[in-house]
Amino acid sequence: MLINCHLVVIMVLSTGVHAMTIQSRLNKDTVQLIKIAQRIEFIRKQDEMGNQKVIAMIYISEDSNPIRAMAGDVTWDAHDIDKAKRSIRRHNKTCLIIDRRDQVI
């Protein structure tokens, strides 16, 4: 029985089905900010080494400075935009979500 399970997994992976990525959880303060956010922008952040990751910037009002979405003590990695949008929509159905991944900071 165990051998058959392994064969199924190998067949599924060899047919091009990709494993799901695990996205880190937003911290409680970030969830509270998302609930009152007016808009959220996805942008690329580049570190000193040249590595890039997609992050979410939260805007509470039109003239406010952005706040980074956090997962624990680190910036939330929003590389899977569809999952990130679903996570945001779960907490705030009316905020504007803008994709600015072409913008690098």
How much is the pLDDT for 4? 40
Distance in angstroms (rounded) separating the CA atoms of residues 66 and 23: 22
| The two three-digit tokens of residue 57, written as one number | 């910037």
Q: 0.85 cut: is pTM over it?
A: no
**Structure-model confidence comparison of residues 6 and 36, the more confident one:** 36
How much is the pLDDT for 12? 38
Rg (CA), the chain: 17
| Structural domain boundaries in the chain | 21-104
How much is the pLDDT for 22? 55
What average pLDDT does this structure show over 3-27? 49
pLDDT digits (tens, 9 = 90+) for 26-68: 889 999 999 999 999 999 998 889 899 999 999 999 899 999 9
How much is the pLDDT for 68? 92
**Nearest-CA neighbor of 97 among 59, 70, 52, 46?**
59
